[in-house]
Amino acid sequence: MRGLMNKLVSRSLSVAGKWQQQQLRRLNIHEYQGADLMNKYGINVPKGVAVSTIDEVKEAVKSAFPNENELVVKSQILAGGRGLGTFQNGFKGGVHIVKADQVEDIAGKMLGQILVTKQTGPQGKVVGKVYLCEKLSLVNEMYFAITLDRKTAGPLIIACSKGGTSIEDLAEKYPDMIIKVPVDVFKGITDEDAARVVDGLASKVADRNDSIEQVKKLYKLFCERDCTLLEINPLAETSGNQLVAADAKLNFDDNAAFRQKEIFALRDPSQEDPREVAAAKADLNYIGLDGEIGCMVNGAGLAMATMDIIKFHGGTPANFLDVGGNASEGQVVEAFKILTSDDKVKAILVNIFGGIMKCDVIASGIVNAAKQVALKVPVVVRLEGTNVDQGKQILKESGMTLITAEDLDKAAEKAVKAASK
CA pair distance 2, 295, nearest whole angstrom? 29
CA pair distance 320, 299, nearest whole angstrom? 11
CB 302 within 8 A of CB 407: no
74 is in an annotated binding site: yes
Kind plus residue range of the DSSP H or E element containing 12: strand 12-15
247 is in an annotated binding site: yes
399 is in an annotated binding site: no
Kind plus residue range of the DSSP H or E element containing 71: strand 70-76
The one catalytic residue among 231, 237, 276, 292: 231
CA pair distance 287, 217, nearest whole angstrom? 34
| 231 catalytically annotated | yes
122 preceded by cis ω (within 30°)?
Answer: no
CA pair distance 150, 9, nearest whole angstrom? 9
Which residues have a Cβ under 8 Å from the Cβ of 389 and sit 6 or more positions away?
A: none
301 is in an annotated binding site: no
CB 362 within 8 A of CB 391: yes
DSSP 8-state assignment for residue 97:
E
Compute and round to an integer the Cα radius of gyration of the chain: 25
The one-letter amino acid code at 163 reads: G
CA atoms within 13 A on the CB side of 87: 21
Kind plus residue range of the DSSP H or E element containing 215: helix 208-224
83 is in an annotated binding site: yes
CA pair distance 242, 45, nearest whole angstrom? 10
Degrees to nearest 5, angle at CA 274 with 38 and 251: 20
Torsion angle of the four alpha carbons 97, 100, 106, 112, in this order, in degrees rounded to the nearest 10: 110
Which residues have a Cβ under 8 Å from the Cβ of 278 and sit 6 or more positions away?
A: 334, 337, 338, 341
CA pair distance 49, 346, nearest whole angstrom? 45
| 168 catalytically annotated | no
26 is in an annotated binding site: no
233 is in an annotated binding site: yes
CA pair distance 86, 115, nearest whole angstrom? 6
169 is in an annotated binding site: no
355 is in an annotated binding site: yes
58: helix, strand or coil: helix
68 is in an annotated binding site: no
The one catalytic residue among 31, 32, 131, 143: 143
CB 12 within 8 A of CB 22: yes
- Catalytic residue IDs: 143, 231
Which residues are annotated as part of the binding site? 74, 81-83, 141, 233, 247, 298, 355-357
Which residues are annotated as part of the binding site for substrate? 298, 355-357
Which residues are annotated as part of the binding site for Mg(2+)? 233, 247
Which residues are annotated as part of the binding site for ATP? 74, 81-83, 141
